[in-house]
Amino acid sequence: MDLLVIHAISLPANSFGGPWIEHFFLNRLPGLRHPYFDQICGLRVSSHLLIRRDGELLQFVALDKRAWHAGRSSFHGREACNDFSIGIELEGADHIPYTLQQYQRLGTVSREIMERFPAIRQENIVGHCDIAPGRKTDPGPAFDWSRYHALLED
User: What strands, in cross-sheet order, belong to the sheet with 85-91?
Assistant: 57-59, 49-51, 85-91, 3-9, 125-127
**Separation of alpha carbons 47 and 134, rounded Å:** 21
**Separation of alpha carbons 21 and 60, rounded Å:** 11
Which pLDDT band, with edges at 50, 70 and 90, does 42 fall under?
confident
Tell me if residue 89 is catalytic: yes
3-7+47-153 CATH choice from 3.40.80.10, 3.40.1180.10, 3.40.50.970, 3.40.50.300: 3.40.80.10
Residue 90 near residue 6 (C-beta atoms within 8 A): yes
* Whether the model pTM is above 0.85: yes
Which pLDDT band, with edges at 50, 70 and 90, does 34 fall under?
confident
HSE-CB for 8 with a 13 A CA cutoff? 27
pLDDT at 122: 95
Which tens digits make up the pLDDT trace of 77-124?
999 999 999 999 999 999 999 999 999 999 999 999 999 999 999 999
Catalytic position from the list 22, 89, 115, 153: 89
Mean pLDDT of the chain: 95
